[in-house]
Amino acid sequence: MHALTFHGIETIKYESVPDPEIESPGDVIVKVHLAGICGSDLHVYHGREKGLDAGTVMGHEFIGEIIESGKEVRKIKKGELVFSPFTTNCGHCFYCRKNLPCRCIGGQLFGWVQNGVGLHGGQAEFVRVPLAESTLLPVPENVLAEEALLLGDIFSTGYFCADMADITPEGTYAVIGCGPVGLMAIVGARELGAERIYAIDTIPERLALAMKFGATCIDYQKEKPLTVLRDGTAGGGADAVLEAVGSPAAARLAIDLVRPGGIISVAGVHNEEHFVFSPAEAYDKNLTYKVGRCPARYYMERLIPLVQKKKYDLTAIISHRLPLAEGVRGYKIFAEKLEGCTKVVVRP
Ligand code: NAD
Ligand code: ZN
């Protein structure tokens, strides 16, 4: 089959690799219809996140059709259109029962093979899905393929980021980063009742989308977010900061913008060894800091009814729909924010 594979920093190849095969009785093979390129793929692409084997099939956002099942798979069937969270989960371990399937004891991240161990990703013609019955969900009625793709990762992640921020209608919120995840965090915050949301980025297309979803935009290269937030709030800062970047600069901005007693809710993936703020600063801000991998399988199920209502134009964030064969270019334009790129979806 053809796939997008990792070969070192900023080197993705479109190449021929062996087809995946059923390895365990709980596996299925999915014929991929759509796959997303995610900001998380960029950490690997730029070499900030290390350890991935050369030749690993990239990607953890996909939807498609089951074409083959292991003999223990009964609840989902051949021919069914399914969507997936970005990690697999067993559905019954301690963490799955705690609504934290992203930390399932037997779970694996798609698109992560290290020292020969792990799971290939979904930016390919086919993908093997272990623990398939508890990981995959059939695409429900009135949910578009692209909406299901977003539910599997970034819509769930953005909503999770907002959910950790204890949103109230009276509060003031700052979303740092208006990539796909930040934009979905704005939608999540709106849905949870936020009325005052400041969205911070510098890329015009992304700020325009943030505005479309109901936020007030701050281009941080033109005005100081701290000044805007200080002037605009009684508490001298945001009740919660939703950080959707994953960099030391964004972390620094978050601690500066949050008011004493506020929350920093972090969806951005961090690869640094140390916090950019000190324990003393956290103490002096009476800070609550929440961070981590989104339990996407939990949110996917919960957010289906919201997607079915079509209240938000989620797929408006997808700027590029490319054939899988053009995926290498997809990485380049998404990484370098070229051609007004906000989100890339590839089609095998
Ligand atoms: P992206 O790279 O498209 O978006 C990041 C945005 O942040 C860009 O628009 C960029 O201009 C902006 N930005 C960069 N530095 C900034 C700064 N200092 N201040 C304000 N804005 C700044 O990526 P994405 O797909 O939106 O993903 C965002 C983050 O979410 C990544 O770190 C990704 O790994 C992470 N993520 C986490 C989870 C999870 O489970 N927690 C899931 C998916 C993605
Ligand atoms: Zn992702």
Q: If 0-12 CB within 10 Å is exposed, 13-18 middle and 19+ buried, where does residue 102 land?
A: buried
The predicted structure's pLDDT at residue 221: 98
pLDDT over 70, % of the chain: 100
Tokens of 32: 């991929």
Q: How confident is the model at residue 19 (pLDDT cuts 50, 70, 90)?
A: very high
Q: Of how many residues is the chain composed?
A: 348
Nearest CA to ligand 1 atom 34: 40
The predicted structure's pLDDT at residue 260: 97
The predicted structure's pLDDT at residue 236: 87
For ligand 2, the distance from its centroid to the CA atom of residue 37, given in whole angstroms, is: 7
In 80-169, where does DSSP find H-type helix? 94-97, 132-135, 145-152, 154-163
pLDDT digit string, tens, across residues 186-199: 999 999 999 999 99
Q: How confident is the model at residue 235 (pLDDT cuts 50, 70, 90)?
A: confident
The predicted structure's pLDDT at residue 6: 98
pLDDT at 96 over 90: yes
Q: Can you tell me whether residue 287 is helix, strand or coil?
A: coil
pLDDT digit string, tens, across residues 58-94: 999 999 999 999 999 999 999 999 999 999 999 999 9
Query: What's the mean pLDDT in 146-159?
Result: 98
- Quote the DSSP letter at residue 76: S
The predicted structure's pLDDT at residue 219: 98
Which of 44, 150, 245 for a ligand 1 pocket mutation test, highest count of atoms within 8 Å of Cβ? 245
Question: What is the atom index within ligand 1 of the atom nearest the CA of 161?
Answer: 41
Nearest-ligand number for the alpha carbon of 246: 1
Q: At what angle do helices 145-152 and 296-309 cross, to 10 degrees?
A: 150
* Domain boundaries, given as residue ranges, for the chain: 2-153+295-347, 156-291
Beta 172-176 vs 196-201: how paired, if at all?
parallel
The predicted structure's pLDDT at residue 317: 98
pLDDT at 25 over 90: yes
Nearest CA to ligand 1 atom 39: 293
Question: What is the atom index within ligand 1 of the atom nearest the CA of 343?
Answer: 3
Backbone angles phi, psi at 173, to 5 degrees: -125, 145
For ligand 2, the distance from its centroid to the CA atom of residue 232, given in whole angstroms, is: 33
Nearest-ligand number for the alpha carbon of 249: 1
For ligand 2, the distance from its centroid to the CA atom of residue 157, given in whole angstroms, is: 8
Query: What's the mean pLDDT in 26-30?
Result: 98
Q: Give ligand 1 pocket residues (Cβ under 6 A).
A: 38-40, 42-43, 153-154, 157, 176-182, 200-203, 206, 220, 244-247, 249-250, 253, 267-269, 293-294
For domain 2-153+295-347, the question of CATH label 3.40.190.10 is answered with no
The predicted structure's pLDDT at residue 232: 85
pLDDT digit string, tens, across residues 31-47: 999 999 999 999 999 99
Do 37 and 60 touch, CB atoms closer than 8 A? Answer: no
Backbone angles phi, psi at 219, to 5 degrees: -85, 110
Nearest-ligand number for the alpha carbon of 268: 1
The pTM for the full model equals: 0.98
pLDDT at 234 over 90: no
Nearest CA to ligand 1 atom 4: 179
pLDDT digit string, tens, across residues 164-180: 999 999 999 999 999 99
pLDDT digit string, tens, across residues 122-132: 999 999 999 99
Give the C-alpha separation, 223 to 218, whole Å.
7
Give the C-alpha separation, 323 to 333, whole Å.
14
Give the C-alpha separation, 152 to 190, whole Å.
20
Report the top-level CATH class of 156-291.
alpha beta
- Quote the DSSP letter at residue 163: H
Q: How confident is the model at residue 241 (pLDDT cuts 50, 70, 90)?
A: very high
Query: What's the mean pLDDT in 253-275?
Result: 97
Q: How confident is the model at residue 99 (pLDDT cuts 50, 70, 90)?
A: very high
Average pLDDT of the chain?
A: 97
pLDDT at 26 over 90: yes
Query: What's the mean pLDDT in 266-283?
Result: 97
Nearest CA to ligand 1 atom 23: 39
pLDDT over 90, % of the chain: 98
